[in-house]
Amino acid sequence: MITVAVSGAAGRMGREVVRALSKTMDLKLVAAIDMMETGEDAGKTAGIGENGVLIGNSLADAFTQTKPQIMIDFSVPSAVLSNALLAIDNGISPVIGATGLSEQDLQVINQSAGQKGIPAFVAPNFAIGAVLMMQFSVTAARYLPDVEVIEMHHDRKVDSPSGTALLTAQRIGEARLKAGISPVEPPANLVEKAPGARGASSQVTGNVPVHSVRLPGFVASQEVIFGGPGQTLTLRHDSLDRLSFMPGVVLAAQKVLSLPIGLTIGLEALLV
């Protein structure tokens, strides 16, 4: 039995995680942390009835009192790095789904986990279909180097581009470099009638244009559109419900303790 603390337990993803843990025999929720719903029963907040785990507002207190083996974090971008480092400092392996980590943040987590001898895990997307989309995109990029990414999320998502889109674009860029192929150069006199109309494109995105849509009605969707002479290829993944992320979250929670020391990035590392 692996004992679990959930950070962000009262949020939309956190509540879904609490529900998923209640259905998983080898994972046991022992602590729930959130700035909202403090003092409420985590199971009741998640809509599954009381489970005896009250939502606290102190991650440090929860670690001291319950001593979980892992922490699943779906909190807010401003807290995710400090949460991860606090978990590692307490000998707890973080499974990070919260967004907002920079490359430097990832390096800090990797270094801290390495020093403490702790495995840590982060995934920009826990939907298995989204991971497959990224893998297929890498394959396609070796033959169709001209590509743009459109990612669509709900209107409350605070970061853009999404972690999934950013990682997809970066891996496409890496695949093109490895294959020694380049996209068609845009016209020298290209004019954007509105700045950024062609999407964000820089070394950070692997020089792949990325467009971000934030609208009510979406959960998480992404299209990767490849173009070639006389043809296009579109790879699309849609998460229609946050339930789509739970098999990946459960898989990561079950496997994180057996991962190498340091930080492992991406659900594809677990799909073996």
**At 199, which CATH number?**
3.30.360.10
- CA 269 – CA 272 distance, rounded (Å): 7
- DSSP secondary structure string for all residues of 4-39: EEEETTTSHHHHHHHHHHHT-TTEEEEEEE-SSSTT
Q: Is the pLDDT of residue 272 over 80?
A: no
Contact 120, 84 (CB under 8 A): yes
Q: Which of 116, 153, 211, 237 is catalytic?
A: 153
Cis check: omega of the bond before 161, within 30 degrees of 0: yes
- Contact between 210 and 201 under an 8 Å Cβ cutoff? The reply is yes
Enclosing domain of residue 80: 2-122+243-270
Q: pLDDT band for position 135 (50/70/90)?
A: very high
Do 231 and 141 share a structural domain? yes
Does 258 lie in the same domain as 180? no
Total structural domains within the chain: 2
Specify whether 93 is located in the same domain as 69: yes
What is the rounded distance in angstroms from the CA atom of residue 42 to the CA atom of residue 47?
A: 9
Q: Are the C-beta atoms of 166 and 217 separated by less than 8 Å?
A: no
Q: Point out the catalytic residue in the list 28, 44, 67, 157.
A: 157
39-87 pLDDT, tens digit per residue, is: 999 999 999 999 999 999 999 999 999 999 999 999 988 899 999 999 9
Catalytic, 211? Answer no
Same domain, residue pair 81 and 159: no
Q: Do residues 60 and 78 share a domain?
A: yes
The mean pLDDT value for 138-146 works out to 97
**Within this chain, do residues 187 and 260 fall inside the same structural domain, yes or no?**
no
**One domain, residues 118 and 11:** yes
| Whether residue 29 sits in one domain with residue 90 | yes
Q: Active-site residue 153, yes or no?
A: yes
Res 99 pLDDT > 80? no
Residue % of the chain over a pLDDT of 70: 100
